[in-house]
């Protein structure tokens, strides 16, 4: 799975996710990637999220929306919201990670596996990538 979240110069957020799913997935199986609110979400003034992992668990936790709700309703910081959401995904047996961004463009990565291919760049920071 791949994904991106962004904040533009007008202060608007967006998110996108694309995937081939899981190796050996059964016919007709759909994960969280194409489900708005689970694998992908963007709401101006709140957050943007793209997830990757065992989709059924991201769906059950409504992961993307959960990050935004934690920010919007609980006044959690984006990193705290991302970590707490991944903890909830993990609690019911899911694994993977997510990228998220708050209304000001602050980036938070969260994962409960050993690696996630990821990167970021902004008007204030140079491009950087990470795996582990």
Partner 1 sequence: GKWSLAIHGGAGVIDRGDLTPEKEALYRQGLNEALAVGQAVLARGGAAVDAVEATVKVLEDNPLFNAGRGAVFAADGKNYLDASIMDGATLKAGAVASLTTTKHPVSAARAVMDKSRHVLLTGQGADQFAAEQGLEQVDPSYFRTEARWEAYLKWKASQGLSGVDDTHKYG
Looking at residues 86 to 125 of the shown chain, list those that interact with partner 1 (rule: CB under 8 A). Answer: 93, 95-101, 104-107, 109, 111, 113-124
List Cβ neighbours of 56 (8 Å cut-off, separation of 6 or more). 31, 32, 94
The CB-of-62 to partner 1 minimum distance in angstroms stands at 14
Structure tokens at 106: 């602050």
Q: Which residues are tagged catalytic?
A: 1
Residues 33-92 that bind partner 1 (CB under 8 A): 33-36, 39-44, 46, 48, 50, 52-56
The CB-of-53 to partner 1 minimum distance in angstroms stands at 6
The CB-of-109 to partner 1 minimum distance in angstroms stands at 7
Residue among 74 and 115 whose Cβ is closer to partner 1: 115
Q: Which of 18, 74, 91, 92 binds partner 1 (CB under 8 A)?
A: 18
Burial class for 112, CB neighbours closer than 10 Å (0-12, 13-18, 19+):
middle
Residues paired with residue 101 on neighbouring β-strands, in sequence order: 48, 107
Is 2 among the residues that bind partner 1 (CB under 8 A)?
Answer: yes
Q: Pairing between strand 128-130 and 107-111?
A: unpaired
> 25, 17, 11: which is closest to 56 by C-alpha?
25
Residue among 43 and 84 whose Cβ is closer to partner 1: 43
């Amino acid at each position: 799975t791949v994904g991106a979240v962004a904040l533009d110069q007008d202060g608007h957020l967006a998110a996108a996710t694309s995937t081939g799913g899981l190796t050996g997935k059964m016919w007709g199986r759909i994960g969280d990637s194409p489900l708005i609110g689970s694998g992908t979400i963007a709401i101006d003034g709140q957050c943007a999220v793209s997830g990757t992992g065992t989709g059924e668990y991201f769906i059950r936790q409504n992961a993307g929306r959960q990050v935004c709700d934690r920010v919007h309703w609980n006044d959690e910081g984006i990193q705290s919201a991302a970590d707490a959401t991944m903890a909830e995904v993990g609690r019911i047996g899911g694994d993977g990670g997510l990228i998220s961004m708050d209304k000001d463009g602050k980036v938070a990565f969260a994962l409960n596996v050993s690696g996630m291919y990821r990167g970021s760049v902004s008007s204030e920071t140079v491009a950087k990538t990470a795996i582990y």
